[in-house]
Amino acid sequence: MREIGAEELRHIARGAAILGAGGGGDPYIGRLVAEQAVLECGPVLVAELREVPDDALVAGIGMIGAPTVMIEKLPAGEEAVTAFLMLQRELGRPITHVLPIEVGGMNSLAPFPVAASLGLPVLDADCMGRAFPMVQMVVCTLDGVLAKPLVVADEKDNAIVVDVSDNHWAERLARSATIRMGCTALLSSFPMSGRQARDITIPGTLTLASRLGRLVEEARRERVEPCQAIASFLGGRVLLAGKVVDVMRARDPGFAKGEARLVGDGTSCLLAFQNEHLVASRDGEIVASVPDLICVLDVEGEPVPAERLRYGQRITVVGAPCHPRWRTPEGLALVGPSAFGYSHEYVPIGV
């Protein structure tokens, strides 16, 4: 186990924004909340999966709702602990480790305030390896680990415990409650044993985010263009370096949906997004596709979220492989192109 303090939280936030692949929300607010918690309660211990005992009780935490609302209605701070403790009460025994549900975007830092105030370690792992828009889009679903029970708590001291038949229902019920709560809430669920966590979750992703963030910061200090380094660090490649020449947005409530045309190095590519960047194609041929990560970066290595894409931006598109579990037939059924309404087959990113 190692300690994570305020400085490393900054690196994680920066790296997590890139792993958000265009979505997941700006980690700024999450980072400030985590920093406050660490200043108040001291550094947080982070445990590697191999350090977790078989009989440990692990549970996940993350924010659900609209990042646009979160930047206005800031959290109270207690709702995360409330959700977590209520889950513990339902489970009837102490939870020993806090599991990040989503490493991409603002949720990467959600476990830290809970871990700091309860004195629990955070697992160096997560359930998506990137950002996804729905509760059921976690590796847990593939192994039958349910969001059961599921707790959703808001800043007004409201909380509900939901029993669900599967993780798709968890998404529907949690989302409805969240809207009534004012579109931001904390969700705690996915209880599992230490052994399950080791077998199922995606290992090392907090450290990955942290190293990624550090890499970008160092590149900036040395004034080198970081995108190539980001691509190789993630085991991926630069798909295109060029500029945005057209952005077409579709009106679809709840989604920043649309397509952007990018041109560079004598080639052009089409990027489709729905909150996250989902498909990159060249002359009608898919070059990268969800669930692989498509990260759009500016010249300084800062991620460009799908809602902020606009004409004239100089960008580099990096494609990076997703966790291998997502590439299996059941993984693709859950988070592959068809889950987002695309008819094409998944094309794994070539390195």
Residues 6 or more apart whose Cβ sits within 8 Å of residue 79: 153, 154, 155, 159, 185, 186
**179 binds another protein per the rule CB under 8 A:** yes
Give the residue with the Cβ less far from another protein, 68 or 328: 68
**12 binds another protein per the rule CB under 8 A:** no
Segment 278-317, which members bind another protein (CB under 8 A)? Answer: 306-308, 310-314
Applying CB under 8 A, which of residues 155, 177, 236, 331 lies at the interface with another protein? 155
* Pairwise CA distance, residues 100 & 44, whole Å: 13
Residues 6 or more apart whose Cβ sits within 8 Å of residue 334: 136, 137, 141, 142, 326
**68 binds another protein per the rule CB under 8 A:** yes
* Pairwise CA distance, residues 149 & 213, whole Å: 34
Query: Considering the complex, what minimum distance in angstroms separates the CB of residue 156 from another protein?
Result: 6
CB 84 within 8 A of CB 118: yes
Give the residue with the Cβ less far from another protein, 143 or 259: 259
Give the residue with the Cβ less far from another protein, 189 or 196: 189
CB 319 within 8 A of CB 292: yes
Residues 6 or more apart whose Cβ sits within 8 Å of residue 299: 225, 227, 314, 316
Applying CB under 8 A, which of residues 174, 183, 271, 297 lies at the interface with another protein? 183
The number of residues that bind another protein (CB under 8 A) is 46
Segment 75-94, which members bind another protein (CB under 8 A)? Answer: 75-78
Segment interacting with another protein, rule: CB under 8 A, options 12-20, 143-151, 245-253, 338-346:
245-253
**182 binds another protein per the rule CB under 8 A:** yes
In the block, which residue shows the tokens 């529907």?
172
**218 binds another protein per the rule CB under 8 A:** no
CB 79 within 8 A of CB 68: no
Binding site for another protein (CB under 8 A): 23, 25, 29, 32-33, 36, 65-69, 71-78, 113, 133, 155-157, 175, 179, 182-183, 243, 245-246, 251-256, 275, 306-308, 310-314
